[in-house]
């Protein structure tokens, strides 16, 4: 995958402190669900993650796996990369805050870039809710503040975590371990399956054994900043009600505006 132009690097800093490695669910950490890596036939040096974003139950994992297979790229599921504390919180029916999501978003960006490096692929497809524009900016590798007005204490957590790591250049993004790539190294695109609350609710209610409670759908919808309406670059919206194969075709058609496939 290749992108013709670099996104602008933001000046502000933030993300949250990275939980220790052992805080992340060992059996969920990236790797076991990766598809076999095969490079795309592309003609430029840059590689690109493609993030499938949206509220719970919108079909991110289903579409992400299918799109990854279609593009012969590895797939990562953001749900597999949450710290255990986030899983426990969502299982109790409590929505995550910006401070809960910040280290997770940084971890996803890092896993995406390390997957590309290790598997030597032209990109990676990742399912991740990324409900707000600032979350997507973190996934783009930009330095942004995450602050959901939960009070000074959380803001402070986020601010401290965003302090530049020793040795990090002024234009480099935030990182749990101090080595996130510059945004231009790994340009990011977003595919959003978008549809109605009724369809989302019926999909979630028919899903058994998932940690996410259907009642939290409304908090997700209230939090969602619809990517196509947020003035962002690199956004493809697909119809939630279309079958997966059709969504893959829509996603590929949209991405072809920026990516040589």
Ligand X SMILES: Nc1ncnc2c1ncn2[C@@H]1O[C@H](COP(=O)(O)OP(=O)(O)OP(=O)(O)O)[C@@H](O)[C@H]1O
Q: Strand, helix or coil at 125?
A: strand
Secondary structure string (H, E, C) spanning 146-193:
CCCCCCHHHHHHHHHHCCCCCCCCCCCCCCCCCCCCCHHHECCEEEEE
Q: Residue 101 or 143: which CB sits closer to ligand GCO?
A: 101
> Taking CB within 5 to 8 Å according to partner kind, which of ligand X, ligand GCO, none is near residue 96?
ligand GCO
Among the listed ranges 30-38, 102-110, 166-174, 241-249, the one in contact with ligand X (CB under 6 A) is: 241-249
Q: Residue 79 or 172: which CB sits closer to ligand GCO?
A: 79
Instruction: State the nearest-atom distance from the C-beta of 240 to ligand X, in Å.
Output: 7
d(CA 252, CA 73): 13
Contacts with ligand GCO: how many residues (CB under 6 A)? 8
Token pair for 151: 């009070």
Residue 127 Cβ, how far from ligand GCO at the closest point, in Å?
Answer: 8
Radius of gyration of the chain, Cα coordinates, nearest whole angstrom: 17
Instruction: Check: CB of residue 163 under 8 Å from CB of residue 210.
Output: no
Residues 43-82 binding ligand GCO (CB under 6 A) are 56, 79
Residue 102 engages ligand GCO in binding (rule: CB under 6 A):
no
- Positions that interact with ligand X (CB under 6 A): 54, 56-62, 79, 127, 203, 207, 212, 243-244, 247
């Amino acid at each position: 995958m290749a992108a013709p132009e670099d996104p602008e690097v933001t000046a502000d800093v933030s993300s949250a402190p990275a939980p220790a490695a052992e805080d992340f669910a060992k059996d969920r950490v990236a790797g076991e669900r990766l598809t076999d890596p095969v490079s795309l036939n592309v003609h430029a040096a840059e590689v690109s993650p493609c993030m499938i974003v949206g509220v719970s139950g919108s079909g991110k994992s289903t579409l992400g796996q299918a799109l990854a297979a279609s593009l012969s790229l590895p797939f990562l599921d953001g749900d597999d990369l949450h710290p255990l504390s986030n899983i426990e919180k969502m299982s109790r029916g409590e929505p995550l805050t910006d401070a809960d999501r910040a280290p997770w978003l940084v971890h996803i960006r890092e896993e995406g870039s390390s997957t590309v490096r290790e598997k030597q692929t032209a990109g990676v497809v990742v399912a991740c809710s990324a409900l707000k524009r600032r979350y997507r900016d973190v996934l783009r590798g930009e330095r942004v503040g995450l602050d959901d007005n939960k009070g000074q204490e959380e803001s402070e957590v986020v601010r401290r975590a965003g302090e530049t790591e020793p040795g990090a250049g002024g234009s480099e993004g935030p990182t749990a371990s101090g080595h996130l790539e510059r945004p231009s190294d790994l340009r990011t695109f977003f595919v959003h399956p978008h549809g109605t609350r009724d369809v989302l609710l019926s999909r979630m209610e028919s899903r058994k054994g998932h940690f996410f409670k259907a009642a939290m759908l409304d908090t997700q919808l209230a939090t969602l900043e619809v990517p196509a309406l947020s003035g962002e670059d690199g956004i493809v919206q697909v119809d939630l009600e279309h079958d997966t194969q059709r969504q893959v075709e829509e996603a590929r058609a949209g991405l072809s505006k920026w990516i040589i496939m």
